[in-house]
Structures are given as structure tokens and as C-alpha cells.
Amino acid sequence: MSELSSLEQEILQARNRVYRAAPATPLERLDLPEFGEIWVKREDQSPIKSYKWRGSFNRMAVLAETAAHSPPTVYAASAGNHAQGVARAARQLGLRARIVMPESTPAVKREAVRAHGGEAVEILLVGDSYDEALTEAHRACEAEGGVYVHAFDDPQVIAGQATLADEAMLSGRGPFDRAYLQVGGGGMAAGVATWLKRVQPGIRIIGVEGEGQASMAAAVAAGHPVRLADLDIFCDGTAVRRVGEWTHRICREVVDEWITVSNEEVSDAIRVYWEKLRCLQEPSGAMGLAGLRGHAPGHPFDRALLVACGANVDFGQLALISENAGIGGRRRRHLRIGLPERPGAMRELFAQGFAAHSVIDFQYGKVAENEAWPVFGFVLTAEEKGDLVAGLEEAGYQVEEVDESAAVRFRSIPCRSELLRAPRFYEVDFFERPGALRAFLEEVIRGEANICYFNYRYSGERIGRALVGIERAGPGQSVPPVAIPATGAGYRNAVPLGEEEARRAVLG
């Protein structure tokens, strides 16, 4: 019997076990008509908010059946969804489990494992990385005669994951022309693709991997699993350096095409899920949608299947996801623009260079007497960015793209205090509307004053907040620094910082 035929038999048996453990997750329509008819398997609505429980439950149910009188202790290594799946299965099946997690695992994830496993689970914290935890789990398992439950490279784990495909096909929403499956170690993709092709042989399976973690495509190209030297962990649920032997052999047979998606594309897919379905996905959970949106326009189809495979996102990661996603489907683009350091130069730039665009990020600190290099952020398509840069350069401005610069990534805004002329600093609240920053510059900062510091970033709130520094226009000026009124047409409120507070916040 071939491996695929053997796996199909495992899937048939897994159905009897898995379907007793939890109800089917829904299949929901995603309204993106420009991409055809899209159906989403909502695995984020499963008992652990991820599909992972299916594979671990099936594998451990087999263990409970075959060693009912003296079941061994189950071992696993995981910092995420697999750990929760093993914990839940141990509690349901009356087994004992030891789960090894890196010491860096957030407390919220450790508590989730304890909540699902209760007294059936012991958590061991070892090392700083998953690889160290994995090594310890295998060592302890062998030393104590336990059974290791792999997160993906096990035929019974793979078969358990495949039950989500069986539920999709039984829903009556098919047949599906394509399925976009996110791939990490390959357990879900191997099982789901195998079952979809058994039931509907003509379906096309597209494997979706993240840039910087495409270990399965590398294995398929090499003819055997290979270990990635570097690994991007933004999509942490699919961040696997080396895929499994089982998953590689199966995926190379059942996956028709391999594509990669960027972290920005994944973040924007999370945004789409939230806006369309009020479904909040972890990065790995949105990779299939990211693949469809980047891939489908050149391949017309009628009906596609996606798997929203997990909602266990770290709350602290949401800010980064939001920033990567941009606004309304466009991307945040950052430009450093050269200006003469003179009164009115910034106002002219806003009036002439940015007339058609809203600034969503403004970083500037005075560091030279004669020139300034502020950084501005916009939300633009690639074409819009090209037009903006061309227009600025035509107007005589020097422009540098700085999306990946340390200054932007770490929001570094230097400011040389010895160059400032009697500066005053204000916390300013803007009403977030198109042109608000421009209005502030035009109405408040006129010829007698000069901007020496500006720190503003759009946060998605109705009110934008900025820290603004203003100085006298020139050394020969006797006019005192401008005093911003408490309110104005372009802003809501301005509160002056005291000298000591300004020194600590800006000047060092």
C-alpha cells in the first residue's frame, strides 16, 4: 500500500475519534467578489482556537486505545497551539503529559496550557529556543520510556488535521476549484491536501509559506528536508527550520504549487479577516488569504477554500501587525526628504509636495544649521509612491526611501540642543482628518517661528497626538518663540512642556 493510500485509511479512522471530541467548526463565506467565491474554514472557533487539537487528539486517542491498561506519559515540545492541543487531549483521554516549553514562552501561553490540561499536564521550561526545548523533550521521553507526540511529522497527527478538510467537503459548499493552505512543518497541508484530492481529484492545491521560512518549498526543490540557516518568526506558528520526513514526502505529491507571502501581505490579510468577518487571526492563520490575494488575479477561478487556522495571537503583536497592514489595503511608505533649514521650508513642502496626500508619520529633529532631513510616512500603493517620489524630485527635493532604516524601525529622532534658539515644546492633539498637519503649519507656525522637532504617528484614533518643538526663526530675530494657543482650527489642544520635561523627553 502506498503512503498516500495508507494515510487515507488513517484519515478514515481519525474521523471516528476526532468527531467524538468536539463539534465541527463552521465554514463561512468571505465577501471578496473580485477574487471569486471564497469559503473559510473557521478553525479559530475550535476548542483551543486552532486546528492543532485534531492531530494531537487523534494520536493520543490511538495511544489510549492500544495501551489502555498502562498508558505511558506523553511528551511534547511546543510554545504554542500544539502544546494546548496535547494538554486538552491528555485531560479528555485520561493521560499524563509533560510539555517542554522555552523559558521565553509568555506567561499567557503557559496559562492556556494549564487551563486546557489541568492536573493532567506538567510544564517544563527549558532553554531559550524551541530547538533547546525539543532536544530536552526527546531526551526526557527516551530516558523515562514515554511517547513523543510530534507537532506535525506523524501519520496519525497528519490524519487528525485532515478531518477539517472532511468537514469542509461534507458542508455542501463545494466543490472547490482551489485551496490555499499555509505550510510550516506541513502537517495540516499534507493531511488536508490528501483528503481534498481523494474526494475531489481535480482541485488545485497551493502551498503558502512565509518569506524567510519557506522550508517545505526548499525541501521539495532539494528532494529531501533541508535546514534553513535563517528563520523569520513573524508568522510564528509556521516558523519551522526543517520540515518532517513524512510531511515532505506527502506534500511533494499532493501540493501543486508553492508561493511565498511577505509579512506585510499577511498583516493586511489579518486586517481583511477582521473587517469582513470580525475574525482575528494570528499571522500564520492569515497566510492562506494573503496567498490568495497575491496570487489569484492571474488565475481566474470560481470557488476557493481557505483555512483560518488559529486565533492565538499575542496581544502585544497587534501594534506591529496594524503597522505592517497599512490602512485600507495600502502600505505605509517612509521617505526622508532633504530641505533647506530655513523658516517656511516645511510649510512649503506640505503645500507643494504633499498636496494630494495625508501624512501619517512625521519624524524630525534639528541636527544641522543649513539642512534638514525629516522623515515622512504615507499610506500608498507602489504606483502612488512612485508618482509622489517623481513629483518631489521634479520639484527639486532630494528623496530617500527609508522603510527599512533603523531610524524608522526604532523611531530614532535625534535633536542637537546646542543648535536650538530658545525652543519651546508642546504636546498637540489633532483632529484626525485630511490636511490636519498642513493646517497646523499654515495657521500657527508662520515667519517668526521655525519647527525644530516633530514626532507624530497616526494611531487609528480620531485624535492624533504630536510632540512639537518650535524655535525663533533666526539668530537676528528679537521676536520671542511663538506661543501656540490652547486650541485652533487645525488642532484641538496644545499643552506646553516644562523645561525639565522637554530636556528629558527630547534633548537628553
| Cis, peptide link before residue 175, omega less than 30° from 0 | yes
Angle subtended at Cα 404 by Cα 398 and Cα 408, rounded to the nearest 5 degrees: 75
Q: For every residue of 186-236, which 3-state class applies, written as one string?
A: CHHHHHHHHHHHHHCCCCEEEEEEECCCCHHHHHHHHCCCCCCCCCCCCCH
Q: Which of 363, 343, 334 is nearest to 441 (CA)?
A: 343
Through-space distance between the first and last CA atoms of the chain, rounded to whole angstroms: 72
Residue with cell 463561512: 28
Please state, in angstroms and as integers, the Cα–Cα distance from residue 143 to each residue in 73, 146, 148, following that order: 12, 8, 12
- How far is 241 from 18, CA to CA, in rounded Å? 29
Best CA proximity match to 374, nearest among 392, 355, 387, 386: 392
d(CA 168, CA 199): 11
Q: Would you state the cell numbers that stand for residue 477, as one nine-digit string?
A: 530675530
Class of the 73-145 domain? alpha beta
Rounded Cα distance, 426 and 505, in Å? 11
CA distance 95 to 480: 77
pLDDT at position 478 = 46
For CATH 3.40.50.1100, the residue range(s) in the chain are 3-50+155-325, 73-145
CA distance 188 to 28: 19
Side-by-side strand order, sheet with 147-148: 121-125, 97-101, 74-77, 147-148
Residues ≥6 apart with Cβ < 8 Å to 230: 212
- Cell numbers of 216, please? 517545505
Q: What is the pTM of this model?
A: 0.82
Cell 526604532 maps to which residue?
Answer: 410
pLDDT for res 432: 78
Question: What is the predicted pLDDT for the residue at 508?
Answer: 62
* SS3 readout for 81-125: HHHHHHHHHHHHHCCCEEEEECCCCCHHHHHHHHHHHHHHEEEEE
Residue 109 neighbours by CB under 8 Å, 6+ apart: 79, 80, 83, 101, 312
Q: What is the pLDDT of residue 484?
A: 65
CA distance 228 to 134: 17
Contact between 466 and 457 (Cβ < 8 Å): no
- What is the Cα–Cα distance from 112 to 435, expressed in whole angstroms? 46
Instruction: State the pLDDT at residue 285.
Output: 95
Interatomic CA distance for residues 264 and 332, integer angstroms:
10
Report pLDDT for 500. 83
**Which one of 2.60.120.380, 3.40.50.300, 3.40.50.150, 3.40.1020.10 gives the CATH number of domain 331-507?**
3.40.1020.10
Please report, as a single letter, which amino acid is at residue 23.
P
Q: Whole-angstrom Cα distance, residue 100 to residue 133? A: 6
Residue 279's alpha-carbon distances to 22, 121, 270, in angstroms, are: 20, 30, 8
Residues 153-204 pLDDT 10s: 999 999 999 999 999 999 999 899 999 999 999 999 999 999 999 999 999 9
Length of the chain: 508
pLDDT at residue number 448: 63
For 488, which DSSP code? B
For the domain made up of 3-50+155-325, give the CATH fold: Rossmann fold (3.40.50)
Residue that has been written with the C-alpha cell 530536552 in this structure: 136
Q: Which residue numbers in the chain have pLDDT < 70?
A: 1, 296-301, 326-329, 443-448, 474-492, 508
Helices (H), 395-485: 406-409, 436-444
Q: How far apart are CA 451 and CA 470, in angstroms?
A: 5
For residues 362 and 465, the answer to whether their CB atoms sit within 8 Å is: no
What percent of the chain is predicted at pLDDT more than 70?
A: 93
Query: Looking at residue 146, what is its pLDDT?
Result: 94
pLDDT given for residue 84 in this prediction: 95
Residue type, 198: R
